[in-house]
Amino acid sequence: MEFLTNDKLTIVGAAGMIGSNMVQTALMMGLTNDICLYDVFSPEGVAEEMRQSGFGDVKITATTDAKEAFTNAKYIISSGGAPRKEGMTREDLLKGNCEIAEGLGKNIKQYCPDVKHVVIIFNPADLTGLVTLLYSGLKPGQVTTLAGLDTTRLQSALAKKFNVMQSEIEGCATYGGHGEQMAVFGSHVKIDGRKLTDIIGTPEFPAEEWEQMKKDVTQGGAAIIKLRGRSSFQSPAYLSVEMIRAAMGGEAFRFPVGTYVKTDKYDHIMMAMATTLDKDGAHFTVPQGTPEENAKLDQSYEHLCKMRDELVTLNIVPPISEWNKINPNL
């Protein structure tokens, strides 16, 4: 079997539903012949299933030891936080999961400081990604967070509405935070070649229906919990592996990612921007939409800043003025 790379990929939280799906997806995509499964709960059962699936050309290891898991790792995907349950928001997970992110960042700095790329998907992903980046000492473009899931929720909702393939929905994007404060951009969307803005407000797609769709997209994670009785696991697993594939030099990632942003307007924050993700890491530009969309992006940023500042109050991160002492790249 031909692989994209021979570098070690470590999947954190591999004993869980998201993690185990990530392992299988990475193997099926042929990303690398060296995959390490890491979890505080033994992931050996997942490793055995993968071996028994017949992936014969791959070294699959499973461990609960951080040193073994991270040493020589060149790529990392982490779902290693507490899952969201019904009635919870992503923000409800802030303290506990950001403490886990702090430990992850420190493990990276200690055992694999030359790691090439890290993808963080455990919630609230914008903050856990920010904390991981801070304590890892990595460069901003080397740590990204899952934001594409919000965009695919918008894309799929529009595809169902207009009875077309998702590939016929172009220009879909959500920006800002991965949560109910996200900014849904519709001004660049085309439906089978037609501008969405020309359809909104017509009998085919009344403005009220569009507003409800945007609200439903921002609450897409909660809807999955109600439908399945548990938080999403297949979609975040697949998209996060697509992200790491792009970082390995494979097919370009199709959707926005959460990335570290430091501009005159948006400062010291992790949020979804208009991005490209490739073997050189994440690169972003600030998206421009309608005045209403831009204002929503500003609101999302302010919401993220409040959570970031709460982490200072909780003593999980120091004041921003001291971040450069921990990570000179910031």
pLDDT of residue 93: 77
Cα–Cα distance measured from residue 235 to residue 121, given in angstroms and rounded to the nearest whole number: 11
Q: What is the mean pLDDT for each group of 10 consecutive residues in the chain (330 residues)? A: 94 96 97 97 97 94 98 96 61 85 98 98 94 98 96 96 97 91 95 96 97 90 82 92 98 96 97 97 97 96 96 95 97
**75 burial class (0-12, 13-18, 19+ CB within 10 angstroms)?**
buried
Cα torsion through 25, 26, 27, 28, rounded to 10: 50
pLDDT of residue 56: 84
pLDDT of residue 281: 96
- Reading the block at residue 115, the tokens are 């790691």
Q: Is 98 helix (H, G, I), strand (E, B) or coil?
A: helix
- Reading the block at residue 176, the tokens are 């800002």
User: 233-242 burial, b if ≥16 CB within 10 A, otherwise e?
Assistant: bebbbbbbbb
Cα–Cα distance measured from residue 306 to residue 181, given in angstroms and rounded to the nearest whole number: 12
pTM for this prediction: 0.95
Cα–Cα distance measured from residue 85 to residue 95, given in angstroms and rounded to the nearest whole number: 16
The residue ranges of DSSP E strands in 19-172, in sequence order, are: 34-38, 59-63, 73-78, 117-120, 143-146, 169-170
Helix (H) or strand (E) holding 125: helix 125-136
Closest CA to 239 of 327, 151, 168, 123: 151
pLDDT of residue 173: 95
Are the C-beta atoms of 144 and 255 separated by less than 8 Å?
A: no
pLDDT of residue 91: 59
